[in-house]
Amino acid sequence: ALLVAPLWGVGAGAAGPAPPAYSLILDSFRPQHVGYAMSIYKLAVKIGAGVAFILGGVLFDFFDGIGTISVAVIGEIRPWQATMISVGAPGLLLALLLLTMTEPSRKGLAKGTAAGDRQLPLRDTARFIGARWRVYVPLFLGASMMAMAGYGAGAWYPELLVRNYDMTKTEAGTIYGTITMIAGSSGVMLGAWLAQQMAKRGYTDSWVRTCFITSLLATPLMVGGPLSESEFWNIALLWPGMVMAGSYLGVLAVSFVVITPNQMRGQITAIYIFVTNIIGMAVGTSVLAAFTDFLYQDDALLHYSVATACGLFYPAAALLFWFCMPAYRRAVAEAAD
């Protein structure tokens, strides 16, 4: 309980900025720039994950070499505790940067409301989503499928490298963390660029269309890598695979924010974060472990479990995005009014 309670607090704190941040970004940038702005914000997911894989093991090894540290008032700090403190402490200083931000003027207000109407009742938001379920439900479920594949593979891929190619955990973490940080970040920005190019060609569903295309392209790459017997080809396929797999992060966040009235953005973003985290993070990693334990029943076949998860969830996401596109085009036209 002493460990779980702080983790709940960290999770709540980490999720808290997203609903206001999405709305702030949309209010602060011109339409042609909002995709890049949101993608830069979402880079934190890939950069943070990459740094965690690379530095987590290094910091733990460092503090493990020192041993238990005694600090006045606090008491003894074990190596794993020192690692968590070292990773979390800079966030306290970075949070102070928020004090330098100014509130932008509110844009995209619902009809019949004024800027002073800070938030509409939750029942109005529920009715709004219910009337447009063909847009929000497949979008959120599609994002959840992408998250299931991404978080599931992320949790187990370093271990796959260890088991299949006799890497050390430090080597596997460094390789996977570097690919996550560089290829994943490149994918986030590529998604914004692709959506912008399609928008210039008249596709009003460019945000969702980008998610549809890249989720399809991610499938053979993220399935082929784990199934490769060669370490070289596994890693070679993982690079473009992570580019495609990460490209949805920024554009999908923009996709539903631009069709949502200003006063509902925070509530609907909170629903999106809740759904994708519960399905993606919690279920995704557990399902992949279940594949290993119950489907293949062999820890040495972890690479089959990763390939199976990617082979199921990325195409499922593509199908949901494809289903969403006609309704999304109608929602865009409605939002323009």
pLDDT score of 68 more than 90: no
pLDDT-derived band of residue 12, with 50, 70 and 90 as boundaries? Answer: low
Using the predicted structure, report yes or no on whether residue 106 has a pLDDT greater than 80: no
- Tell how strand 69-71 and strand 75-77 pair up: antiparallel
pTM of the model: 0.85
Helix (H) or strand (E) run with residue 153 in it? helix 133-165
Which H or E element spans position 214?
Answer: helix 206-227
pLDDT at 4 over 70: no
d(CA 17, CA 8): 15
Whether 116 has a pLDDT exceeding 70, the answer reads: no
Q: What is the mean pLDDT of residues 11-15?
A: 56
- Residue 303 CA to its chain's centroid (Å): 22
For residue 291, the model assigns a pLDDT of 94
pLDDT tens digits, residue range 210-259? 999 999 999 999 999 999 989 999 999 999 999 999 999 999 999 999 99
Mean pLDDT of the chain, nearest integer: 87
The pLDDT tens digits for 152-194 are 998 899 999 999 999 988 888 889 989 999 999 999 999 999 9
Mean pLDDT across the stretch 187-202? 95
C-alpha to C-alpha distance for 106 and 27, rounded to whole angstroms: 6
Residue 244 CA: distances (Å) to CA of 38, 146, 213, 254, 297: 17, 11, 9, 17, 30
More confident residue, 111 or 304: 304
| Residue position matching structure tokens 């557990």 | 286
Tell me 2's DSSP state. Answer: T
321, 213 contact by CB (below 8 A)? no
Q: Is 205 exposed, middle or buried (0-12, 13-18, 19+ CB in 10 A)?
A: buried
Which residue, 207, 208, 234, is CA-closest to 221?
234
Dihedral sign computed on CA atoms, order 238, 239, 240, 242: positive
- 């009715």: which residue's tokens? 127
Specify the pLDDT at position 121. 82
Q: Is the pLDDT reported for residue 122 higher than 80?
A: yes
Query: How much is the pLDDT for 100?
Result: 83
Angle in degrees, CA 291, 292, 298, rounded to 5: 145
